[in-house]
Chain A
């Protein structure tokens, strides 16, 4: 619901004229690890994306709803949970194939005791290359800063890495898309007067279809 609202807000915020809008939907697979190797979950669920590009500015919104279960190597008794995540980024194209991106990422876990919910700001770069009409590949990396965790603590270091590829017939109005995102957040929290490391690491692969307007 919140994701739909945000996407709607994004659509309304940018005037329709002289802009290119791309809407995508798909299915995501994810791997989630937290604190130690035994807290290992795998999940999947629907995903959606929206991209609005106008001039040198591009706005990208990705969201998914994933249901996680303990992976096969995890100890029994781990509770399943769902994750709603929204990833908003605004990019400013600096050269023809490279843009500076700043964004906001929010991950909500339900039930909240099962995993860590957090939000943070991101800043990084996105580079892309058009391989052929309707085919492109992109790489993205960003630093995740100012993370805020529901369970407390802070993350002095967080990084996200992405790979995207799309292919469509003709000029690529309709295309098959694939996106990969790896994220690692080195969360630290205090326990018994000392700081302990409770890292969070996730990877998401999303396969879908996109249409450009």
Chain B
């Protein structure tokens, strides 16, 4: 009965683990590989011995974390939760970002891992994105998770100075932002920097850091606008339709002059001269005709003029704002932050 249960348990644990553990085969430690094979064969005690042996060897941090993780798996499979938790804690201290796929490992292992996470003080998933921002006005987001309540101190250190970004108690996911200025209030010069996060809780402490390459450059200025987008200037004059009004007015003026002259002529003097009024009257009529045939003069379009003046006023106002912004931008420094591969250490 016991053998059957062990076999079922081994099948439950071993089948999913085959996929997870496959990368181990590529690892260099023979002991670690044998431990993995023993675990795969459900020989948990042998796996524990071999994993312990491997952990004493001179392995890389990743292989060492893997050895402790294998140890945790084997202990958990044998229901030795305390030992499993301790093994997972060691694994987490070596590689705090290590996580289990809850869909592929047994609940026993998952719970032991969760217990280890609750007990150990580590900083997980310390993450900084590649970011461009303006020092003093933008910010660099910094994200990480602290597994226990701890006093957190986050700093940026580098060759040209340092600054404490934040110092406070924290637990769980933590989001911080650096405004791009050092302790002296100036933006950093180009160079290699490092964001260091230190966590301390009682006697436990942990520190993690992310190296950054910071490039400092000038901020792009805005071009002045020649037109407001979507607001085109309208023609300020319009050509009216051709009309007969000019010749009408010329003939009316001529008629008035002729009529007035005839009416004012003195009868005692036997009338008056006609050639003068006829000559000028005909000329005035011709002027009226030419004016009628001439292309009408453009006349001001008051509504368009008002509209254009408002648009120009807005354009001038916007360009004034742009000039002020550019003056400010010329004093600013644009930072390009490029995270480098990070390391972690425990203490």
Contact = CB atoms under 8 A, between A and B. Distances in A.
Contacts of B268: 36-37, 197, 199
A163 B280 contact: yes
A33 B276 CA distance: 14
Interface string A185-213: 01000000000010101011101000000
Contact of B261 (A42, A133, A179, A203): A203
Contact of B269 (A131, A139, A167, A201): A201
Contact of B249 (A37, A133, A137): A137
Q: Taking chain B's interface residues, is the majority helix, strand, or loop, or is none over half, making it mixed? A: helix
Contacts of A42: 273
Interface size class of A (residues with CB under 8 A): 35 or more
A139 B291 contact: no
B253 A163 contact: yes
Contact of A31 (B245, B254, B264, B275): B275
A164 B281 CA distance: 9
A133 B297 contact: yes
Given A135-B294, A163-B253, A178 B264 contact: no
B16 interface: no
A161 B263 CA distance: 11
A186 B265 CA distance: 11
Interface in B261-301: 261, 264-266, 268-273, 275-277, 279-281, 283-284, 286-288, 290-292, 294, 296-297
Contact of A131 (B250, B257, B264): B250
A159 B263 CA distance: 12
Nearest to B258: A163
Contacts of A179: 280
Interface residues on B, range: 35 or more
B256 interface: yes
Given A132-B292, A166-B287, 8 more contacts: A29-B279, A30-B273, A137-B288, A139-B256, A178-B280, A178-B283, A203-B277, A207-B283
- What 3 pairs between A and B have smallest CB-CB spacing? A31-B273, A37-B270, A205-B276
Interface of A: 29-31, 33-37, 40, 42, 129, 131-139, 141, 159, 161-167, 178-180, 182, 184, 186, 197, 199, 201, 203-205, 207
Interface of B: 245-246, 249-250, 253-254, 256-257, 260-261, 264-266, 268-273, 275-277, 279-281, 283-284, 286-288, 290-292, 294, 296-297
28 contacts: A31-B273, A31-B276, A33-B269, A33-B270, A33-B272, A34-B269, A129-B249, A129-B253, A131-B245, A131-B292, A132-B292, A134-B294, A135-B246, A135-B288, A137-B249, A137-B250, A159-B264, A165-B250, A165-B253, A165-B284, A166-B287, A180-B279, A182-B277, A184-B264, A201-B272, A204-B276, A205-B276, A205-B279
